[in-house]
Amino acid sequence: MEKLNVLTILVLTALNLSTVSVALLLIMGQGISRAARLAQFSLLSQTLGWVAIIASGFAFGHWLDPVLSTMAMVMASVANYLMFLALQAWLGPRRNQRALLALLILMPIGYALSFENYSLRVGYANLLFAIQLTIVAQAALGPRQPASLRWRALVALCYGAVACASLARGVLGAFYPELYPTFDAPHPVNVAAQLTANLALVLTTVAVLVAWREEAEGQLREQAFTDNLTGLLNRHGWDDRAPALFDQARRHRTPLALIMLDLDHFKRINDTQGHEVGDQVLRMVGKVLQSNRRSSDLAARIGGEEFALLLPQTDKRAALHVEQRLRLALLEEGIQQPTLRVGYSAGLALLKPNDQKLTDFMVRADTALYQAKAQGRGRLLQAD
């Protein structure tokens, strides 16, 4: 009866994994990110691993036993690697990817070669499996990540707990094989390990769903802050992110430059060549601004044909260099696509102590911009 209890836990784990894998496919649908898809595949690989290990029990003494057991090790290792890749896609580069990949390769090879030596096989497989799980747990808690700590901590807790259970089972099989002669032996350590794996499955699924929801919310937020035509920030995105850079520059007394751009005679382009050409011009300007800014800079489409470029850690000389580079890039685009040729007028403002609010800063740059337009367009004027 005790043996049946352990086997029942194994079967329930496999059934739970199968159900979860199908449920995630239905809940998440088709248009999901690479990270969510990798998490789905990780759970599916775990399912195949559990099915293979259960099937190997029924093939004990048959030539299929080592084949199915080794397949289970492959699927379990692949599942860990896929979860690592999912975390990396959600959170950015993670450490120890090469080590995890090496363990993925070494696990089935060493397991197959040591199959006839039970103590060596069980100790080896569970040790490598515990290391894999530890790497995944560590990946969930990597530094400097904007993602919520709650679901990451849950992933780390689940993988860390299963790693400890696997290590305990490895010690039991390697040094006390008479107490753990088969994978479904009713020893308390094995029972605890199986229950831990089952509970970790449920909690990991919850963490994956929370991560997916957080990602979806982030994408919706990004869409709300992004101009569909140019790919730059829209006014809402600018109002959300620019004040933080402005306050940071004031607080640390670091240079900050703002360039406001307004396309010259853009209404004429719409009137004479049509709005489709006008949209193409705006896309081209957006592309030029995107490709000529640093990752720390903010570029936004403020209005119809008005753009803003906020440049942290930038003095007057550097700001003028940025503006000249933008003007030259637009000129080159106009040479390649004459129908999209366009110029702009610009106003430059450099942060001053009396700029108490971002709006004060923008008013100065905007005033310089309209002075540039009044003086003949196609030029940059500095505020004050």
| Domains, the chain, ordered by start | 2-224 (1.20.1070), 235-382 (3.30.70.270)
- pLDDT band, residue 42 (cuts 50/70/90): very high
Place of tokens 């971002």: 358
Asked if residue 2 has pLDDT above 60, the reply is: no
How many percent of the chain have pLDDT more than 90? 53
Asked if residue 24 has pLDDT above 80, the reply is: no
- pLDDT band, residue 6 (cuts 50/70/90): low
- pLDDT tens digits along 118-132: 999 999 999 999 999
- pLDDT band, residue 326 (cuts 50/70/90): very high
Asked if residue 312 has pLDDT above 90, the reply is: yes
Q: What is the pLDDT of residue 69?
A: 92
Neighbours of 150 (CB within 10 A): 11
Q: What is the pLDDT of residue 94?
A: 92
- Look at residues 176, 302, 297 and name the one whose alpha carbon lies nearest to residue 230: 302
Structure tokens at 91: 């959170």
- pLDDT tens digits along 251-280: 999 999 999 999 998 888 888 888 888 899
Helices (H), 225-357: 235-252, 266-273, 275-291, 316-336
Is this model's pTM higher than 0.75 or not? no
- pLDDT tens digits along 348-376: 999 998 888 899 899 999 999 999 999 98
Instruction: Tell me the range of 10-19, 22-31, 151-160, 181-190 where mean pLDDT is highest.
Output: 151-160
Helix (H, G, I), strand (E, B) or coil at 136: helix
Q: Which residue has the higher pLDDT, 137 or 9?
A: 137
Q: Which residue has the higher pLDDT, 104 or 65?
A: 104
Structure tokens at 192: 């605890």
Rg value, the chain, Cα: 30
Contact 118, 184 (CB under 8 A): no
Which residues face 262 on adjacent strands? 306, 345
Asked if residue 234 has pLDDT above 90, the reply is: yes
Q: What is the pLDDT of residue 7?
A: 63
φ/ψ of residue 228, rounded to 5:
-65, -30
Q: What is the pLDDT of residue 319?
A: 93
Contact 237, 225 (CB under 8 A): yes
Single-letter code of the amino acid located at 347: G
- pLDDT tens digits along 43-63: 889 888 888 888 887 776 777
- pLDDT band, residue 243 (cuts 50/70/90): very high
Asked if residue 145 has pLDDT above 70, the reply is: no
Q: What is the pLDDT of residue 3?
A: 45
Say how many Å lie between the first and final Cα of the chain, rounded.
Answer: 88
Helix and strand counts by DSSP (H, E) for the chain = 12, 5
- Look at residues 270, 282, 284, 381 and name the one whose alpha carbon lies nearest to residue 329: 284
Place of tokens 């100790």: 123
- Look at residues 118, 114, 110, 113 and name the one whose alpha carbon lies nearest to residue 178: 118
Mean pLDDT of the chain: 88
52-66, 228-242, 265-279, 281-295: which range is least confident on average? 52-66
- Indicate which residues carry an active-site annotation: 305
Mean pLDDT computed over 1-7: 52
- pLDDT tens digits along 12-21: 777 777 777 7
Q: What is the pLDDT of residue 51?
A: 87
Mean pLDDT computed over 175-194: 86
Asked if residue 74 has pLDDT above 90, the reply is: yes
